[in-house]
Amino acid sequence: MAVWVFLIIVAVVGAAAVLLYQRTSSGPDVSSPDARSPGRLAQRVGPFRVGTVGLLLGAGFMITYGLVPSGVAMFTVAMFHSVSDGLTVSSTGVAVGMVVPGDRQAGAQGLLGGAQTLMAGLTALLAGVMYDNFGRATAYAVAGGTMLALVAGGLALTGSAWRLRGGHGAVEPQAVVAVD
């Protein structure tokens, strides 16, 4: 029963996100693919806000994976989870682009990708051990709880950057000039 209540809440939040997405994406050139992307939503609303919502939803989905009774139900949850991952993945790159100086963008984006890959590998290893020893529900509950703790830690570290959105605080690209 709790799983279905969570899925209904997620559907309502998802519908609100779609409405917000459509509202913030309207503009003179909505036909271009870039104008209607989650990255554009992160720029308009704020990458730290969009990322937080995506990660909180993702943690809820993670916990739900351990509670659903069948593969079909897990697949259904995964379809909703993929939307929240789209919000999260796009917002992290936008956030780095807004807070890192222009001459360090490439290194910062590379470090972000490396950290994400490292954490994915460690999480897979630890989750596999927990799944084998304690079962599916425990493994997914610990993974979801860890995500919630990391989101709280990230929010504590965000500080005034939480308010960044649009072009405010974003690093402006510099012109490249050939030197003889």
Which tokens is 163 given? 């308010």
Q: Residue 95 has what pLDDT? A: 86
**Residue 119: what are its φ and ψ, rounded to 5°?**
-65, -35
User: Residue 11: its pLDDT value, please?
Assistant: 61
Angle at the Cα of 74 from the Cα atoms of 15 and 140, rounded to 5 degrees? 100
pLDDT at 19: 54
Which pLDDT score is estimated for 177? 57
**Domain ranges (residues) in the chain:** 2-163
Number of neighbours of residue 20 by Cβ within 10 angstroms: 15
Which pTM does this prediction carry? Answer: 0.71
pLDDT of residue 17: 58
Residue 179, SS3?
Answer: coil
Predicted confidence at residue 159, as pLDDT, reads 83
User: What's the one-letter identity of residue 42?
Assistant: A
pLDDT at 51: 87
Please, is 93 exposed, middle or buried when counting C-beta atoms within 10 Å of its C-beta (0-12, 13-18, 19+)? middle
Q: What is the pLDDT of residue 90?
A: 83
State how far the Cα of 137 lies from the Cα of 63, in Å rounded to an integer. 8
Name the nearest CA neighbour of 51 among 162, 156, 146: 162
Query: Which residues, in sequence order, are CB contacts of 92 under 8 Å at separation 6+?
Result: 47, 51, 112, 116
Residues of the chain whose pLDDT is less than 50?
25-35, 168-171, 173
User: Residue 80 and residue 76: Cα distance in Å, rounded?
Assistant: 7
pLDDT of residue 63: 93
Check residue 38 and give its pLDDT. Answer: 60
The Cα–Cα gap between 34 and 39 comes to: 8
- Locate 63 and state its tokens: 């916990």
**Calpha distance 18→93 (Å, rounded):** 21
What is the C-alpha to C-alpha distance for residues 5 and 130, in angstroms, rounded to an integer? Answer: 27
pLDDT at residue 13, as a whole number: 61
